[in-house]
Amino acid sequence: MTYAGDVSPEQAWLRLETNPDAVLVDCRTQAEWNYVGVPDLEILGKKAQFIEWVRFPDGSLNTSFVDELREAGITEHNEVLFICRSGHRSIGAAEAATAAGITNAYNVVDGFEGGLDENDHRGAAGWRASNLPWRQS
């Protein structure tokens, strides 16, 4: 594994709740944030960071991803929890952060909405299905 590891949405929430240096980075696209919803950390006195791993609408890799992490104030002292739609793009984000020296980089398994089910629908797993706070942006 080329990043610190995988955590469930519930484990991510616990880390955000108990570690003042824990940060949630939602690495989905602007369109996903706008139309699907976003994690809401207000009750913890925190805000998620929103940094695209791939650009919308063309799906190109965000070559300034690590620079944007740094601009958001994320350093090697943070525990960083990366979340995407289903837990795949966030692996790449965690790997890139680790390669840049942010070694406490974790992937949130199943992401915000989870993978596709037998009917090609999402929502049976992930942050929302775990009844963690979220909101429409």
Query: How many structural domains does the chain have?
Result: 1
CA angle 99, 86, 47 (to 5 degrees): 70
pLDDT digits (tens, 9 = 90+) for 6-42: 999 999 999 999 999 999 999 999 999 999 999 999 9
Residue 94 lies in a domain: yes
Note down the domain range covering 38: 5-105
Residue 132 lies in a domain: no
What pLDDT sits at residue 66?
A: 98
Inter-residue contact 99 to 69 (CB < 8 Å): no
Residue 70 lies in a domain: yes
What pLDDT sits at residue 59?
A: 94
Residue 37 lies in a domain: yes
pLDDT under 50: residue ranges of the chain: none
What pLDDT sits at residue 120?
A: 87
Residue 134 lies in a domain: no
Residue 88 lies in a domain: yes
What CATH number does the domain containing 47 carry? 3.40.250.10
